[in-house]
A = this chain, B = another copy of it.
Amino acid sequence: MATARVIITLKKTIMDAQGQTVEKALHNLGYTGVSNLRIGKYVEMTVEGRDQERVEEMCRKLLANPIIEDFRIELEE
């Protein structure tokens, strides 16, 4: 048993409207030092065995859309 943590973000070149709105809101709240804010998804799950490739496959097939998103995986026993 291992824990997989996956972070899915929009590709850098793709506009992140959500992130921009939140960044603006933080500025309005006085947190003017914040920049480059981007929002993504986080998925945490228990998987059988420590099989990085299998998790990558799940990401490509279901969790992320490779056309617009990148993903990062952390696996831990």
Residue in B closest to A72 when the chains form the complex, CB atoms:
B42
Q: Is the CB of A33 within 8 A of B9?
A: no
Q: Is the CB of A37 within 8 A of B43?
A: yes
A62 sits at the interface (CB 8 A): yes
Type the 1/0 row for A34-52, where 1 means its CB is closer than 8 Å to any CB of B: 1111111111111111000
Q: Is the CB of A36 within 8 A of B40?
A: no
Known: A9-B44, A35-B45, A42-B42. 16 other contacts (CB 8 A): A7-B42, A9-B42, A22-B62, A25-B62, A31-B58, A33-B49, A34-B46, A34-B58, A35-B46, A36-B44, A36-B45, A37-B43, A39-B41, A39-B42, A39-B43, A41-B41
